[in-house]
């Protein structure tokens, strides 16, 4: 719900939307974090003025979240949201000093990315039946594109017909912060994309490449649902989502010796640190090979 006594919050969200061009999903995450913080200030400290907010107030909020068993990962995200907000407030002159200077983020244990085994992905496309109608063709092609490119869900859903470049065998993708990147596409997959594009439902008025039987753009929930259902047929891993296919794409590349900087570029990561998590799976694979093959292992 809106926090009327802190108008800078809406200014900040407008800044993210119109100047930084963040996705709606990211803006909602910032909004939720910051509204929770301001609701806490109002309920516990009668809503101090923005310039009167100190590190003590923030630590009190963090302590309450720890008591509620909120994960360190979630707390760190909320701290990041606060840092961005107060940095913006400094920039526009709403405050003279950020209260975040002495706030320390809790340590988190690094989780290795979960992924689908290569043999399971092969089984998905080689043996599982897909219905021979628009719905079946859409689902199979979406799954194939996720696994073949490592695209994010939002990138795939908003992929325009004009972003396909058959002549150069590539797709242009708009990633986070509207950053462009080009993804190589195998000839056989490109043929399927072009055929799909040329056989769209007559009622379709959408610019997006992927549409449902009624010619309307796919929505995230429906894509998540059919990806989840299909992965259940080939794997027992706990999470079965489009993002798991992104992890699978990156992990299989790294396990086959791909250069980490190339994988970084393909994923659209701004930092190499984000890509380095996939090297851990490579190391685990090497350990398994060593243990199995070396006489002294």
> Of 294 and 97, which is predicted with more confidence?
97
Whether the per-residue pLDDT at 4 is higher than 90: the answer is no
Q: Average pLDDT of 167-196?
A: 94
- What proportion of the chain, given as a percentage, has pLDDT over 90? 76
What pLDDT, on a 0 to 100 scale, did the predictor assign at position 108?
A: 67
Whether the per-residue pLDDT at 87 is higher than 50: the answer is yes
Among residues 78, 152, 158, 264, which one is catalytic?
A: 152
d(CA 38, CA 112): 34
Among residues 172, 176, 181, 217, which one is catalytic?
A: 176
In three-state secondary structure terms, 165 is strand
Q: Average pLDDT of 235-255?
A: 94
* 243 included as an active-site residue: yes
Q: Which burial class, exposed, middle or buried, applies to 218 when counting CB atoms under 10 A from its CB (0-12, 13-18, 19+)?
A: buried
Over residues 106-119, the pLDDT tens digits come to 876 666 789 999 99
d(CA 78, CA 59): 12
Average model confidence (pLDDT) across the chain: 91
Over residues 217-244, the pLDDT tens digits come to 999 999 999 999 999 999 999 999 999 9
What pLDDT, on a 0 to 100 scale, did the predictor assign at position 93?
A: 96
* 96 included as an active-site residue: no
**Tokens matching residue 51:** 């310039």
* 59 included as an active-site residue: no
182 strand-pairing partners: 172
Whether the per-residue pLDDT at 92 is higher than 70: the answer is yes
What pLDDT, on a 0 to 100 scale, did the predictor assign at position 184?
A: 97
Helices (H), the chain: 8-14, 24-45, 55-67, 72-91, 118-126, 134-149, 153-157, 187-198, 220-232, 242-255, 260-267, 272-293
* 246 included as an active-site residue: yes
Q: Average pLDDT of 133-139?
A: 96
Q: Average pLDDT of 245-266?
A: 93
Q: Average pLDDT of 250-266?
A: 92
* 21 included as an active-site residue: no
φ/ψ bin of 142: left (φ > 0), alpha (ψ from -120 to 50), beta (otherwise): alpha
The domains found in the chain, sorted by start residue, are: 8-91 (1.10.150.130), 118-292 (1.10.443.10)
For β-strands 180-184 and 164-165, DSSP reports them as: unpaired
């Amino acid at each position: 719900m809106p926090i009327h006594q802190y108008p800078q919050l809406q200014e900040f969200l407008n800044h993210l939307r119109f100047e930084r061009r963040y996705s709606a999903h990211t803006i909602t995450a910032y909004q939720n974090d910051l509204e929770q913080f301001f609701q806490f200030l109002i309920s516990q400290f009668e809503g101090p003025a923005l310039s009167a907010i100190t590190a003590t107030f923030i630590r009190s909020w963090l302590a309450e979240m720890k008591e509620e068993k909120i994960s360190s990962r979630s707390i760190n995200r909320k701290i990041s949201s606060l840092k961005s907000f107060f940095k913006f407030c400094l920039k526009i002159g709403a405050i003279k000093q950020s209260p975040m200077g002495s706030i320390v983020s809790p340590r988190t244990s690094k989780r290795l990315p979960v992924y689908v085994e290569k043999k399971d992905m092969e089984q998905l496309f080689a043996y599982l039946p897909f219905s021979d109608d628009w719905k079946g063709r859409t689902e199979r092609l979406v799954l194939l594109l996720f696994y073949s490119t490592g695209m994010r869900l939002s990138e795939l859903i908003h992929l325009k017909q004009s972003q396909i470049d058959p002549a150069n065998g590539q797709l242009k993708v708009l990633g986070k912060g509207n950053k462009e990147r080009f993804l190589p596409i195998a000839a056989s997959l490109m043929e399927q994309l072009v055929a799909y594009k040329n056989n769209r439902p007559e009622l379709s008025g959408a610019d997006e490449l992927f549409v449902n039987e009624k010619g309307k753009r796919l929505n995230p929930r429906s894509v998540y649902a059919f990806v989840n259902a299909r992965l259940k047929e080939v794997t027992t891993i706990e999470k079965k989502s489009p993002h798991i296919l992104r992890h699978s794409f990156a992990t299989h590349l790294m396990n086959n010796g791909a250069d980490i900087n190339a994988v970084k570029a393909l994923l659209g990561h701004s930092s190499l640190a984000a890509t380095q998590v996939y090297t851990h799976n490579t190391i685990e694979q090497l350990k398994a090979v060593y243990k199995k093959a070396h006489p002294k292992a």
